[in-house]
Amino acid sequence: MKYLLLLFIIITVALSCKKDKVEHVPTPYELKIPSHFPVMQIPEDNPMTVEGVALGRKLFYEKKLSGDNSMSCAGCHAPSSAFSDPNQFSEGIDGVTGTRNSMVLVNVGWNNFFFWDGRAKTLEEQILIPVEDPIEMHDDWTDVMSTLRSDVTYKNLFFEAFNTTDIDSTHAAKAIAQFIRTMISGSSKYDVMYKAENNLPLSASEQIIYATVTPEETAGYDLFKSLNGADCFHCHNGPLMQVQKFSNNGLDATFSDNGRGDVTGNPSDFGKFKVPTLRNIEYSGPYMHDGRFSTLEEVIEHYSSGIQMSSTIDPLIEFASQGGVQLDAYEKDLIKQFLLTLTDETFINNPDFQEPQ
């Protein structure tokens, strides 16, 4: 009996001495989605959390993600350039330049495919690629994660975001994806015009903005949508100002870059690229997949008179055989004035998207 009692006491003491496992339940993050936007589909295996977004933001600006600790994601997606690169081609850490212009990061959470050629099907998948791309950040995720794991601050941040210390590159990608999904732009003058056009209620501040819409901006919007005018809205419409598709928009008669065609191997996809959003286009130049146009005037001129015929040109470029939609100078100016309504300063300058201190 004595031994039994002793054994019981020993077991009880041993159990009571066992260290409690530390747990952290991340705080759900509520996305601020504008009322006229669709819901954003969030992957089930990467729910939005406050801690995940904070970690993703820090990682987005983290230069340790590159081979020589000199470049972060923001290097090619600068806030001041609508989270794109003002250079035609981005230069990697080895001084090598790419062949495509850096895409803007805005409302990316609604995209169905990523990169100009759509080779990544999820945002998480896309984020993993530039870090190891030799012409971009030229690093190795194993090394990156080893560095991050040895950093106490990151170790804690990852734990708070994912409740684990067993972290790898997928956790980093998930965190950055969470941050990028918060980068929502829906407060431009265009948004107010769009809501008013569709009889959606305007807030007091939106009514004030609506009162500032000029006749030229309205005329530009009408021309933008007109089938016999600029005919832009087939590919750029709705709150996101883009449709989810690949298109050959008549840049070249022959292709130096096959775009989507190199992903699918289908010659019918040669020369097709992802249709980008036009949001914040004022700041997101240069334009097109190869950044060939520096100004909005050049872009408008392309659609007006510079269309090149080819075997895969989008049938929606209906005036292709005439070289374009043939706008006069006044109409081109109207289109430009409308395009400027897509600027969302509150998005560009949102402190939540800037580099954390």
Q: Is 200 in the site for other proteins (CB under 8 A)?
A: yes
Q: Is 192 in the site for other proteins (CB under 8 A)?
A: no
**Among candidate residues 336, 325, 329, the one with its CA nearest the CA of residue 302:** 325
User: Shortest approach of other proteins to residue 267 CB, angstroms?
Assistant: 8
Exactly one of 165, 244, 294, 346 binds other proteins (CB under 8 A); that residue is 244
Q: Which amino acid is at 240?
A: L
Exactly one of 69, 309, 330, 346 binds other proteins (CB under 8 A); that residue is 309
- CA-CA distances (angstroms) from residue 343 to 69, 284, 293, 337? 33, 10, 19, 11
Strand (E) or helix (H) holding 273: strand 273-274
**Among candidate residues 126, 124, 122, the one with its CA nearest the CA of residue 103:** 126
Exactly one of 234, 262, 298, 333 binds other proteins (CB under 8 A); that residue is 234
User: Which one, 31 or 50, has the nearer CB to other proteins?
Assistant: 31
Exactly one of 80, 205, 207, 311 binds other proteins (CB under 8 A); that residue is 311
Strand partners, 274: 246
Q: Is 11 in the site for other proteins (CB under 8 A)?
A: no
Exactly one of 9, 10, 227, 253 binds other proteins (CB under 8 A); that residue is 227
- CA-CA distances (angstroms) from residue 197 to 151, 200, 230, 240? 52, 8, 19, 15
Q: Rounded distance, CA 104 to CA 344, Å?
A: 13
Which residues between 36 and 55 bind other proteins (CB under 8 A)?
A: 36-39, 41
User: Shortest approach of other proteins to residue 229 CB, angstroms?
Assistant: 12
- Mark out the alpha helices in the chain (DSSP H runs): 2-17, 50-60, 123-132, 141-149, 152-162, 169-181, 189-197, 204-210, 215-225, 260-264, 296-305, 329-340, 345-348
Q: Which stretch in 81-89, 94-102, 172-180, 192-200 sits in contact with other proteins by CB under 8 A?
A: 192-200
Q: Which stretch in 82-90, 135-143, 287-295, 305-313 sits in contact with other proteins by CB under 8 A?
A: 305-313
User: Shortest approach of other proteins to residue 353 CB, angstroms?
Assistant: 23
User: Which one, 243 or 296, has the nearer CB to other proteins?
Assistant: 243
User: Shortest approach of other proteins to residue 200 CB, angstroms?
Assistant: 8
Exactly one of 80, 142, 212, 268 binds other proteins (CB under 8 A); that residue is 268
User: In angstroms, how far is CA 127 from the centroid of its own chain?
Assistant: 11
Packed helices 141-149 and 169-181: angle between N→C axes, nearest 10 degrees: 90
Q: Which stretch in 53-61, 92-100, 307-315, 344-352 sits in contact with other proteins by CB under 8 A?
A: 307-315
Q: Which amino acid is at 56?
A: G
Compute the chain's Rg from CA coordinates: 25
Q: Is 113 in the site for other proteins (CB under 8 A)?
A: no
User: Which one, 130 or 239, has the nearer CB to other proteins?
Assistant: 239
At 352, list the tokens.
């939540």
User: Shortest approach of other proteins to residue 210 CB, angstroms?
Assistant: 17
**Among candidate residues 62, 170, 67, the one with its CA nearest the CA of residue 126:** 170
Q: Rounded distance, CA 233 to CA 235, Å?
A: 5
Q: Is 203 in the site for other proteins (CB under 8 A)?
A: no
Q: Is 172 in the site for other proteins (CB under 8 A)?
A: no
User: Which one, 299 or 317, has the nearer CB to other proteins?
Assistant: 317
Strand partners, 272: 259
Q: Is 199 in the site for other proteins (CB under 8 A)?
A: yes
User: Which one, 57 or 279, has the nearer CB to other proteins?
Assistant: 279
Exactly one of 99, 207, 266, 346 binds other proteins (CB under 8 A); that residue is 266
Q: Rounded distance, CA 45 to CA 209, Å?
A: 39
- Binding region for other proteins (CB under 8 A): 36-39, 41, 110, 197-200, 227, 234-235, 237-239, 243-245, 266, 268, 309, 311, 313, 315-318, 320-321
